[in-house]
């Protein structure tokens, strides 16, 4: 392998001009396809195309006209004032919202009752009570305009423009009213992707600057900062081009793509630079120094990038589609870092390198003696170090068992963001922000018998679907159940209970006629022909519950609703945004275990091939698994919850931290081949690779710290937890790895 690596290193240096030209041409060709890589903002992107939950949700949207609702909520103390001023203001606000491009229709109090809204007539009182929690709050001052978006809007940019214009309209209300808020699924997705795109741009700059500063301060090499930036951004450009040509789209998790490629590229160049500097310090000429560095580092750099890719590919076992696709994206990016290193490093490192620069680089201080001193102490008591590592691992597993998932999707945003504040308003003033639906078969013409049967189902849902409170007692879980059956009966001119059965159909027809005249889009949103069967109609029952509940509580609520509806009709479907998000967060914990197991197995196989020794592969894994388990276990002990960002931590961290083990073991084996004893080889390795490990880890952490500036909480979790895991991996590779090698290699 030594001769082969020497030949390759020599080739890279001799052909550096040609390789540079190839790299530049590849970058130029990548510009156009990379620029076409865009975000797909649909919630459907979070699921596999054949997922039954997704199919039910798409059926709901297709049947009832898109199913995209935006709630525009504001506070008006005089909403129900007897002079009608509050309703007049509501009508004015509604008209302003209806004029926004992309709004297909609205549902409001004034559209239902017009100037008669404040009257105490029996039908009006019934309808006001029915729509409480939708068009207004129980406090009689919270008003809500339900805006139905135009389903023909296929462009995500159009949807974002509509949401932003609705938000601007609600910020400027008439008659001195305080600004209102807009919320709902479309708003949440627009805001989430806005933050992700903003993060991607910001983090690209911050992570690059911070990581580059690590190189500049520790190694005093502006040239190598340039090398690192070229490697990073050529890798990133090529990655985006490959993904675009392969038909991929960016997702909620893609904000970290730039930061991840940055830290991998900079860590790779740091290892090469440290060895390059060592050879220069020994008196070698720049060409010979770089050739020797590349000869030694090409294998570990290749295998380090491969283990990175393997860790990311383990995410393909996740059930959440953006996590799977993120794994593929980063696997591509990891391998392209190696390609970019080969294309650009030789030319930039050697072009016009003066004697003065060579002397400065060779003399650049790297005052890091503590890695060698630490390894020296470890080799004296390796058994104690390994025992402590095992104890920490046991404690971590116990904490792992206590981990819970974050169920409230709004907690993926900082508390001061508009979407969180708006959801809290709906949660507290409109009876709950968790909205989902039941779809059941229906006749084309709705009659009294069907309405009565449907209302029995609704009453059963309200009475039987319960959730345990803090004291363990069961409480009603649904805060509202609403369908066209309720609306038709409530809008009838007389109380249906006082009408003889023979005339009830006539009364219901009159009641439904009120809605058909005043808000026809409301009828279409609750009763429509099936998109797959021309002879069947579907009926929609809207359910509301609290958003701020645990995963188990939400899953139990959905299960109860399904069981009750299945008894009513085997064809009944329970779906909606609430159901989709509950399934996502409920699968996060399962993903954590499966992706971690896949990463461990995959990296073990890769390192077995790299080291040609299963024993050395196990030795390399151990010091990296324990710190990651410790971080996850600490989350469990502290009561922190796993979110979409946390689901990727274990597999990603393992893939990144194993890089140091690969470099350490390769260097250790070279030292043993040169005739060093086990202890001498460990000390020699810690003196060179140990320093590079420390600097590379600092660069990694500097890049990930940039993620903490994000308003999107999964991005923050990802940055903080990976940084902690990287720091733990560094200590593991300077403590546990030498101890294990010493115990298994006595001579």
Handedness of CA 293, 296, 297, 299 (dihedral sign): positive
pLDDT at residue 232 tops 80: yes
Put residue 22 in one of left, alpha, beta given phi > 0 → left and psi -120 to 50 → alpha. alpha
CB 288 within 8 A of CB 84: no
pLDDT for position 364: 53
Confidence of residue 3 (pLDDT cuts 50, 70, 90): low
d(CA 343, CA 30): 15
Q: What is the dihedral of CA 99, 102, 104, 108, to 10 degrees?
A: -60
Confidence of residue 2 (pLDDT cuts 50, 70, 90): very low
pLDDT for position 93: 94
Please state, in angstroms and as integers, the Cα–Cα distance from residue 166 to each residue in 572, 613, 739, following that order. Answer: 34, 62, 62
pLDDT at residue 234 tops 90: yes
pLDDT at residue 355 tops 50: yes
Over its C-alpha atoms, the chain yields an Rg (Å, rounded) of: 31
pLDDT at residue 420 tops 90: no
Confidence of residue 1 (pLDDT cuts 50, 70, 90): very low
pLDDT at residue 153 tops 70: no
- Report residue 691 as tokens: 């320093």
d(CA 397, CA 352): 54
Average pLDDT over residues 598-616: 91
Q: How high does pLDDT run on average in the chain?
A: 83
Burial (Cβ within 10 Å: 0-12, 13-18, ≥19) of residue 485: buried
d(CA 294, CA 618): 26
Confidence of residue 540 (pLDDT cuts 50, 70, 90): very high
pLDDT for position 19: 95
d(CA 202, CA 196): 10
- Report residue 482 as tokens: 């609403």
pLDDT at residue 341 tops 90: yes
Q: What is the dihedral of CA 173, 80, 90, 181, to 10 degrees?
A: 50
What are the DSSP calls for 236-287, one per residue? HHHHHHHHHHTT--B-TTTTHHHHHHHHHHHHHHHHHHHHHHHHHHTT--HH
φ, ψ dihedrals at 209, nearest 5°: -65, -50
Smallest Cα–Cα separation from 735: which of 405, 358, 366, 380? 380
Question: In sequence order, what are the residues at sequence separation of 6 or more whose Cβ sits closer than 8 angstroms to the Cβ of residue 127?
Answer: 112, 113, 487, 490, 491
pLDDT at residue 140 tops 80: yes
- Report residue 580 as tokens: 């989709």
Question: In sequence order, what are the residues at sequence separation of 6 or more whose Cβ sits closer than 8 angstroms to the Cβ of residue 544?
Answer: 133, 431, 432, 434, 435, 478, 479, 480, 481, 482
Q: Which domains does the chain have, with CATH numbers?
A: 2-44+189-410+583-744 (1.20.1640.10), 67-179 (no CATH), 417-582 (no CATH)
Confidence of residue 334 (pLDDT cuts 50, 70, 90): very high
Q: Which residues of 385-394 are buried (b: 16+ CB within 10 A; e: fewer)?
A: bbeebeebbe
Smallest Cα–Cα separation from 434: which of 460, 467, 464? 467
Please state, in angstroms and as integers, the Cα–Cα distance from residue 213 to each residue in 206, 207, 208, 261, 274, following that order. Answer: 11, 10, 8, 17, 16
Average pLDDT over residues 258-262: 80
Q: Give alpha helix (H) positions in 64-151.
A: 85-98, 109-113, 122-130
178: three-class secondary structure by DSSP: coil
pLDDT for position 242: 93
- Report residue 401 as tokens: 């068992």
- Check residues 436 and 509 and name the one with the higher pLDDT: 436
pLDDT for position 691: 78
pLDDT at residue 690 tops 70: yes
Quickly tell me which residue has 């080889």 as its tokens: 681
pLDDT at residue 272 tops 80: yes
Most confident of 215-224, 228-237, 316-325, 592-601: 228-237
d(CA 572, CA 568): 8
For the chain, what's the residue count?
747
């Amino acid at each position: 392998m030594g001769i082969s690596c020497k030949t390759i290193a020599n080739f890279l240096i001799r052909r550096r001009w040609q390789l540079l030209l190839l790299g530049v041409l590849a970058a130029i060709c990548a510009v156009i396809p990379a620029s076409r890589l865009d975000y797909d903002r649909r919630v459907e992107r979070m699921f596999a195309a054949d997922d039954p939950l997704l199919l039910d949700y798409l059926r709901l949207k297709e049947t009832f006209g898109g199913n995209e609702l935006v709630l525009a909520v504001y506070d008006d103390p005089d909403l129900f004032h007897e002079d009608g001023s509050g309703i007049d203001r509501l009508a004015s606000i509604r008209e302003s919202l209806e004029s926004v491009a992309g709004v297909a229709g609205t549902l409001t109090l004034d559209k239902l009752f017009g100037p008669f809204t404040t009257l105490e007539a029996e039908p009006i009182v019934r309808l006001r009570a029915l729509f409480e929690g939708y068009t207004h709050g129980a406090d009689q001052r919270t008003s809500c305009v339900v805006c139905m978006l135009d389903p023909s809007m296929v462009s995500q940019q159009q949807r974002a423009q509509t949401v932003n214009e609705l938000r601007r309209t609600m910020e400027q209300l008439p008659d001195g009213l305080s600004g209102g808020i807009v919320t709902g699924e479309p708003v949440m997705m627009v805001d989430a992707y806005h933050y992700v795109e903003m993060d991607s741009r910001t983090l690209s700059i911050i992570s690059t600057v911070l990581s580059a500063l690590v190189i500049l301060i520790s190694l005093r090499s502006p040239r190598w900062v340039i090398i690192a930036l070229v490697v990073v951004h050529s890798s990133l450009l090529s990655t985006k081009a490959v993904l675009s040509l392969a038909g991929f789209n960016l997702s909620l998790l893609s904000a970290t793509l730039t930061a991840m490629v940055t830290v991998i590229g900079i860590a790779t160049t740091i290892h090469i630079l440290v060895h390059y500097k060592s050879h220069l310090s020994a008196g070698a000429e720049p060409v010979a120094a770089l050739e020797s560095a590349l000869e030694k580092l090409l294998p570990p750099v290749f295998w380090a990038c491969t283990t990175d890719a393997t860790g990311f590919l383990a995410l393909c076992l996740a059930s959440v589609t953006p996590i799977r696709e993120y794994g593929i994206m980063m696997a591509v990016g990891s391998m392209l870092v190696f390609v970019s290193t080969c294309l650009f490093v030789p030319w930039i490192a050697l072009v016009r390198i003066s004697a003065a620069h060579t002397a400065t680089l060779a003399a650049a201080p790297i005052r890091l003696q503590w890695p060698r001193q630490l390894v020296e102490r470890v080799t004296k008591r390796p058994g104690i170090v390994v025992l402590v590592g095992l104890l920490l691992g046991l404690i971590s597993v116990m904490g792992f068992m206590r981990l819970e998932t974050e169920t409230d999707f709004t907690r993926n945003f900082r508390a001061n963001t508009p979407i969180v504040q708006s959801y809290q308003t709906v949660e507290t003033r409109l009876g709950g922000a968790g909205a989902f639906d039941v779809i059941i078969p229906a006749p084309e013409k709705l009659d009294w018998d069907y309405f009565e049967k449907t209302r029995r189902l609704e009453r059963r849902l309200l009475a039987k679907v319960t959730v345990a409170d803090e004291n363990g007692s069961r409480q009603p879980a649904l805060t509202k159940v609403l369908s066209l059956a309720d609306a038709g009966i409530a809008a009838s001119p007389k109380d249906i209970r006082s009408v003889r059965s023979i005339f009830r159909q006539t009364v219901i027809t009159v009641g439904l006629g009120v809605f058909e005249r005043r808000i026809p889009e409301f009828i279409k949103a609750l009763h429509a022909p099936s998109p797959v069967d021309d002879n069947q109609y579907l009926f929609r029952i809207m359910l509301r519950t609290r958003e701020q509940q645990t995963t188990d509580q939400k899953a139990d609520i959905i299960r109860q609703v399904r069981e009750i509806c299945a008894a009513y009709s085997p064809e009944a479907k329970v779906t909606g945004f609430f159901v989709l998000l509950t399934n996502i967060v409920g699968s996060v914990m399962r993903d954590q275990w499966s992706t971690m197991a896949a990463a461990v197995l995959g990296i073990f196989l890769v390192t077995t091939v790299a080291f040609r020794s299963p024993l050395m592969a196990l030795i390399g894994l151990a010091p990296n698994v324990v710190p990651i388990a410790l971080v996850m276990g600490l989350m469990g002990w502290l009561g922190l919850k796993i979110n979409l960002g946390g689901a990727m931590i274990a597999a990603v961290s393992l893939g990144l931290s194993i890089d140091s083990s690969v470099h350490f073991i390769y260097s250790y084996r070279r030292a043993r081949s040169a005739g060093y004893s086990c202890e001498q080889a460990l000390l020699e390795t810690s003196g060179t690779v140990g320093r590079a490990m420390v600097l590379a880890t600092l660069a990694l952490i500097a890049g990930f710290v940039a993620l903490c500036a994000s308003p999107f909480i999964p991005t923050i979790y990802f940055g903080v937890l990976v940084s902690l895991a990287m720091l733990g991996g560094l200590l593991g590779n300077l403590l546990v790895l030498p101890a294990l090698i010493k115990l298994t290699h006595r001579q």
